[in-house]
Amino acid sequence: MSHAKKARRRTGKVLPTLNYHHLMYLWTVAEEGTITKASRRLRLAQPTISTQIRTLEENLEVELFDRSGRTLVLTDAGRVVHRYADEIINLGREMVDVLNERPVDRPVRLAVGLAFVVPKLIAYQLLRPALDLAPGVLVECHEDKVDRLITQLASHELDLVISDAPLGPGTAVKAYNHLLGESATSFFAARPLALRLRRGFPDSLDGAPYLMPMGGSALRRELEQWFDSLRIRPRVVGQFDDSALLKVFGQSGVGVFAAPSVIEKQIRQQYGVQVIGRTDEVTERFYAISAERKVKHPGVIAISKVARTKLFG
């Protein structure tokens, strides 16, 4: 008995049959934003496209588009279908190229979710090795809060999430944590403030203007515990989800900020700030979170290898 017949017997339902043209219509509408533009691109009547997309929605039993003014916007389910449609359409084109003996050079896609709190310089150094692979990897970066990224990981919209904290045991999503490495912490400020606070560090941070990561981040918790242990009370003047924006404020002289010591040199060069001091008592860890226990994607393997042997090694 075929797998399809077994599935029908278990569910009592007839499984939907995918139509390549339906996927092409959905993909084109998603790319163009309206059925009018899609009809011109496909050279088909608008009612034809509308009817075929409704048929696809009925077959899949989901809504694929929401209307936003005159534009059609993909729903959550629509984004999942669009991603698979994109891969199927590209595979179809590749097949035709192979049959016609045309060269094929299609990179492997790697969709990475980056938590806002992960420093951009860390993210770059982690992801760069994936770009150097042959025949090549197409890296897609999506920044968001960790909980939303994990939801996308569960729906296979992302291959990997990079975060400053592991996924907790009580999380409903089945995913696996892979420690990439850890770093001590350095404290930075614009030159005038750094010169004033360098002497007497870390006690000099008591009452000093300070730029904090937003509550809930691993670094925020580590910093608060360290300050409490030393009975230091910096004067928090800003809180940020985005680590890059936090550094821009620090660059302008607004306050002190902390960042991993492994990118100390790059931070000084990029933002023109100076080091006030360092501590091994505040440790930043970085994790790759995947849906696989054993990582198989070549891009993820390259990221893990470089992180452990070079960046954090």
- Indicate whether 133 and 207 sit together in one domain: no
pLDDT at 73 over 60: yes
- Indicate whether 280 and 294 sit together in one domain: no
Looking up residue 81, the CATH number of its domain turns out to be: 1.10.10.10
- Indicate whether 163 and 217 sit together in one domain: no
- Indicate whether 188 and 167 sit together in one domain: no
pLDDT at 78 over 80: yes
The pLDDT value recorded for residue 7 is 41
Highest mean pLDDT among 122-131, 165-174, 240-249, 287-296: 240-249
Weakest mean pLDDT among 6-20, 68-82, 294-308? 6-20
The pLDDT value recorded for residue 1 is 43
Share of the chain above pLDDT 70, in %: 90
Tell me the pLDDT tens digit for each residue of 181-194. 999 999 999 999 99
CA 282 to chain centroid: 25
Task: Taking residues 151-174, report their average pLDDT.
Answer: 84
The pLDDT value recorded for residue 5 is 43
Tell me the pLDDT tens digit for each residue of 4-31. 444 444 445 555 667 888 888 888 988 8
Q: State the burial class of residue 135 (Cβ atoms within 10 Å of its Cβ: 0-12, 13-18, 19+).
A: exposed
What span, in angstroms and rounded, lies between the C-alpha atoms of 117 and 124? Answer: 14
The pLDDT value recorded for residue 12 is 52
Task: Taking residues 229-252, report their average pLDDT.
Answer: 94
Instruction: Tokens for 152, please give them.
Output: 């996308």
**CA-wise closest residue to 83 among 91, 93, 71, 94:** 91
The pLDDT value recorded for residue 134 is 59
The pLDDT value recorded for residue 207 is 96
Mean pLDDT of the chain: 85
Tell me how many domains the chain contains: 3
- Indicate whether 164 and 300 sit together in one domain: yes
Cβ–Cβ under 8 Å, residues 193 and 256: yes
Share of the chain above pLDDT 90, in %: 35
What CA dihedral angle connects 231, 237, 243 and 249, to 10 degrees? -130
- Indicate whether 225 and 277 sit together in one domain: yes
What span, in angstroms and rounded, lies between the C-alpha atoms of 41 and 281? Answer: 59
- Indicate whether 60 and 196 sit together in one domain: no
The pLDDT value recorded for residue 252 is 95
Tell me the pLDDT tens digit for each residue of 190-214. 999 999 999 999 999 999 999 999 8
- Indicate whether 157 and 301 sit together in one domain: yes
